Structure 1
Amino acid sequence: MLRLSCGDSVLDLNPDLGGSIARFTHKGADVMRPTPDDATDVLQSSCFPLVPFCNRIRDGKFVVEGHKVQLSPNLGDSPHTLHGQGWRNAWRVVEASASRAVLSYRHGADEWPWDYEATQVFELRDKGLRVYLNVTNLSRGHMPAGLGFHPYFNLTDQTRLKAHVDGVWISDDEVLPRNWHAGVLFKDWTHGDALKFDKLIDNCYTGFHGRAEVFEGQNLTHVLRASPDCHWLHIYVPLGEDYFCAEPVNHMPDPFNQPNSGMKCLKAGETRMIWMDIALA
């Protein structure tokens, strides 16, 4: 475990568990859902990186420039490969100081037939955190690349979320995007709405302006901001749990089967980068 501190804020990182955030506190209070001490799965963490793609790829199959790719399932019995490779592997500590750390993950071509290197930079502040995530194509040919963050926040009956979006992808029974709905569906995030709901929320919202606000009742508690190319916000609110996820990403789920999905191809040596801020009110 790697610990950073700045003023009243403390950040614990777990490089071995998917390069994840294990805990983020301010004045001893948890800003994010804390990771259990005995956690062995990155899905128990406070936040983990999505690289080199976000969310699901249908049946793990796609074709890019003649490459027929078949990825193995990596979450339970679902056939749809999820979130890339970074979250399922250990990261290396490249640099660490009192309030800043750099983690790196190097991937050698395998069933994902491209070499790449991903880097996370954590910068802790007294009342906030900024994280940078980038990926560099180390292969000779073009490599598809997308990025995102998967933060978990604490949830109560009073927790509300406000984020400007213009529509939502309605998911099918396999949590893959089926069709796009303009405007509000069930929850009006643009004007602020309660996160607790009587149905599972696991959807990708479009037209995200890069800012989401979290409230407890009427009190703003923290603000999530993301880099300008994160036009999508994936919101996950499971039934009966005490957490929710608001994931800024730079492409939509199942990107190889949708037009204008946000997925891009990197030339040899090219880098793609995003960032996320969590600021305390």
Structure 2
Amino acid sequence: MTAIEKGQARLSFVPEVGGAVASFTVAGRDVLRPAAPGVTDALATACFPLVPFCNRIPHGRFAFEGRSVVLPPNLAGHPHPLHGQGWRAAWTLERAAGGEALLSYDHAPDAWPWAYRAEQRFVLGEASFRAELTVINTGEKAMPAGLGFHPYFPRRPGETLTATNDGVWLIDTEVLPTLHHPGPWEADWAAGAPIEGHGLIDHCYTGWDQRATLRAPGGPDTVVTASPDCRWLHVYVPPGEDFLCVEPCASRPNPFGEGETGMAVLKPGERRSIWMEVRT
């Protein structure tokens, strides 16, 4: 496990586990949920990248520029592949010094038939870190591309989430989006709502203004901001767990579905980047 430090802030990585962040602490306090020693699954880390798409593709089937693609499942017991290839691959730590780090991953064509390079650049502040995620089309044909971040936060007693939005994608029993519901649903995050007291929340919120605040009595706020491309905010609050996820995304679930999904088309050599900052 490799770490960078600045003042009382410390950010550690497990690049071999999906290019993941293992922990982010300020003055010894966990701002992100820490990964256990020896972690082998990105789902048990502090944060991992979503590249080159976010969330689920129904049964892995889609068409792009006349080409039919079928992706295999990448989560045990779940038929719909999710989050791209980056989180299931080993990344290379290119550099970690002076409060900055660079991780990279090169994808060779397989079921996802396009070559690409992904990079994560981290800059650590006194009480924050900024992550920039980039995907570069290194192949010879145009490639679809969506990006996002999947940070996990410790659940604190009495915690609330405030995040402006104009609606939410409702889901079916397989966590696939069904229809868009305008306005508040279940929890009114736009007004600031408690984390506790709901059923499963695993939903994508639209009209996000790139700022979300987690607030708990007696503790410092955690503020998540992101680049303008991140117009969707995915919130995951599993009942009975000690964590929640607040995920800035530049594309939505079912990224090859109807309507505006946020997927870009990259010509050979083109790149797409987003950033996220976590501050306490």
TM (norm. structure 2) is 0.98
Q: Which residue of 2 aligns with 1:191?
A: 191
1:278 aligned onto 2:278: yes
Contact 1:213 1:220 in 2 (8 A): no
Partner Cα distance (2:263, 2:200) in 1: 26
1:133 aligned onto 2:133: yes
Counterpart AA for 1:154: P
Q: Which residue of 1 aligns with 2:109?
A: 109
Q: Which residue of 2 aligns with 1:242?
A: 242
- SS in structure 1 of the partner of residue 190 of structure 2: coil
1:11 aligned onto 2:15: no
Q: How many residues align?
A: 280
Gaps of 5+ in 1: none
Contact 2:210 2:231 in 1 (8 A): yes
- SS in structure 2 of the partner of residue 87 of structure 1: helix
Q: Which residue of 2 aligns with 1:216?
A: 216
Counterpart AA for 2:194: A
The 5 Å alignment of 1:13-32 reads 13-32=13-32
Partner Cα distance (1:18, 1:138) in 2: 20
Contact 1:47 1:152 in 2 (8 A): yes
Deviation at residue 218 of structure 1 after TM alignment:
7.5
- SS in structure 2 of the partner of residue 190 of structure 1: helix
Partner Cα distance (1:260, 1:83) in 2: 18
Contact 2:171 2:177 in 1 (8 A): yes
Counterpart AA for 2:173: D
Partner Cα distance (1:6, 1:86) in 2: 27
What RMSD, in angstroms, separates the aligned Cα atoms of the two structures? 1.0
1:86 aligned onto 2:95: no
Counterpart AA for 1:162: T
Q: Which residue of 2 aligns with 1:62?
A: 62
- SS in structure 2 of the partner of residue 118 of structure 1: strand
The 5 Å alignment of 1:110-189 reads 110-189=110-189
Deviation at residue 197 of structure 1 after TM alignment:
2.5
- SS in structure 2 of the partner of residue 247 of structure 1: strand
Partner Cα distance (1:143, 1:164) in 2: 31
Cα deviation digits, residues 234-271 of structure 1 (max 9, x gap): 00000100100000000110011121111111111110
Q: Which residue of 2 aligns with 1:73?
A: 73
TM (norm. structure 1) is 0.98
Deviation at residue 83 of structure 1 after TM alignment:
0.4
Distance 1:193 1:217, change over 3 A: farther
Partner Cα distance (1:32, 1:124) in 2: 14
